[in-house]
Amino acid sequence: MTVPTIVLKYGGTSVATAERWQRILERAAALAPTHRVWITISALAGVSNRLDAGVDAAVAGEVEPTLTAVRDAHETLADALGLTDDERAGMRGLLQDLRDLLSGIALVREASPRLRARVMSFGELASTALGIAVLRRAGLDAVRVDARDLLTTADSPDLPDATRLLDARVDPRHDPAAADALAGSARVVLTQGFLARTPDGHTALLGRGGSDTSAALFAALVGAERLEIWTDVHGLFTTDPRALPGARLLRRVRYREARELAAMGAKVLHPRCLDPVAPQGIPVEIRNTLDPDGPVTRIGPDGDDEPAVLAVVARRGIPLLTVRTLAMWGAPGFLAKAFEVLARCGISVDLVATSQSAVSVTLDHVPDGLDGAPMTRALRELTALGEVDVLPDRAVVSIVGRSIRAVLPTLGKSFGAFAEKQIHLVTASSEDLDLSFVVDPDEAPRLLRDLHGRLFGTGHTAPWLGPSWGRLTRPEEDATPAPRWWRARRDHLLELVADAQPRYVVDLGTVRDRAEALRDRLPHVGARFYAMKANAEPAILRTVVAAGMGLECVSANELRHAREAVGPEVPILFTPNFCPVDEYRAAFETGAEVTVDGPDVLRLAPEVFRGRPIALRLDPGLGLGHHEKVRTAGARQKFGHPMDALAEMKAVADGIGATVVGLHAHVGSGVLDPNPWSDTARTLLRAREVFDAVQWVDVGGGLGVVERAGQDPLDLDAMDRALAEVEGLGDVELRIEPGRYLVSEAGVLLLPVTQVRKKGGVTFVGCAAGMNALIRPALYGAWHGIHNLTRLDDAPGEPVDVVGPICETGDILGRGRHLPTTHPGDVLLVENAGAYGVVMASRYNLRTPPEQVVLEPQ
Provide the annotated active-site residues: 807
| Residue 86 DSSP one-character state | H
Helices (H) and strands (E) in the chain, counts: 29, 35
Angle between helices 47-59 and 64-81 (to 10 degrees): 160
What b/e string do you get for 818-830 counting C-beta neighbours within 10 Å, with b at 16 or more? Answer: bbbebeeebbbbb
In angstroms, the Cα distances linking 654 to 602, 698, 737, 767 are 11, 22, 28, 57
Task: Give one DSSP letter per residue of 389-428, joined into a string.
Answer: EEEEEEEEEEEEEESGGGGHHHHHTTGGGGTT--EEEEEE
Q: How far apart are CA 174 and CA 280, in angstroms?
A: 9
HSE value, Cβ hemisphere, 13 Å, CA-based, for 704: 27
Element (DSSP H or E) covering residue 351: strand 348-354
Q: Which of 16, 4, 5, 9 is nearest to 273 (CA)?
A: 9
Q: How far apart are CA 737 and CA 714, in angstroms?
A: 15
Q: Which of 674, 649, 654, 652 is nearest to 664 (CA)?
A: 649
| Cis peptide bond prior to 367, omega within 30° of 0 | no
Q: How many residues does the chain have?
A: 858
In angstroms, the Cα distances linking 826 to 458, 471, 495, 820, 834 are 21, 22, 12, 11, 22
- Contacts of 731 by beta carbon, 8 Å cutoff, 6+ apart: none
Q: How far apart are CA 254 and CA 262, in angstroms?
A: 12
How many C-beta neighbours within 10 Å does residue 69 have?
21
Element (DSSP H or E) covering residue 57: helix 47-59
Beta bridge partners of 531: 552
Q: Which of 434, 433, 438, 422 is nearest to 361 (CA)?
A: 438
| Residue 237 DSSP one-character state | B
| Residue 821 DSSP one-character state | P
- Contacts of 412 by beta carbon, 8 Å cutoff, 6+ apart: none
- Angle (CA) 202 205 207, round 5°: 155
Q: How far apart are CA 560 and CA 569, in angstroms?
A: 13
Task: Give one DSSP letter per residue of 671-737, joined into a string.
Answer: B--SSHHHHHHHHHHHGGGT-TT--EEE----B----STTPPPP-HHHHHHHHHT--S-TTPEEEE-
The one-letter amino acid code at 612 reads R
Q: How far apart are CA 302 and CA 748, in angstroms?
A: 48
